[in-house]
Amino acid sequence: MAGAVLRAAAGVARFLYGFVVGDDWRAALAMLLALVITALFVVNGVNAWWLVPLLAVVMTGVSLRRQARR
């Protein structure tokens, strides 16, 4: 029973890693940092909702350019 639960948890962890990080760990790290920075801004009263969508568009372009060079 415990072995099946551990295998299932490992499978979920592999799926989440592949889904979130995918092919470009740099883009995933940049988005994580954008979320943290946005949260810090909001806590300090700065309206920073625009940071995450902007960085998502920029990082998509950067990631696509990096893949096209390969």
pLDDT at 59 over 80: yes
Q: How far apart are CA 70 and CA 13, in angstroms?
A: 28
Write the DSSP string, 12-60.
HHHHHHHHHTTT-HHHHHHHHHHHHHHHHHHHTT---TTHHHHHHHHHH
Question: Does the residue 17 lie in any domain?
Answer: no
The gap from C-alpha 10 to its chain's centroid, in whole angstroms, comes to 19
- Over residues 33-57, the pLDDT tens digits come to 999 999 999 999 999 999 999 999 9
Q: pLDDT at position 7, please?
A: 92
Question: Does the residue 30 lie in any domain?
Answer: yes
Count of domains in the chain? 1
Question: Does the residue 60 lie in any domain?
Answer: yes
Question: Does the residue 5 lie in any domain?
Answer: no
> Which structural domain, as residue segments, surrounds residue 64?
23-70
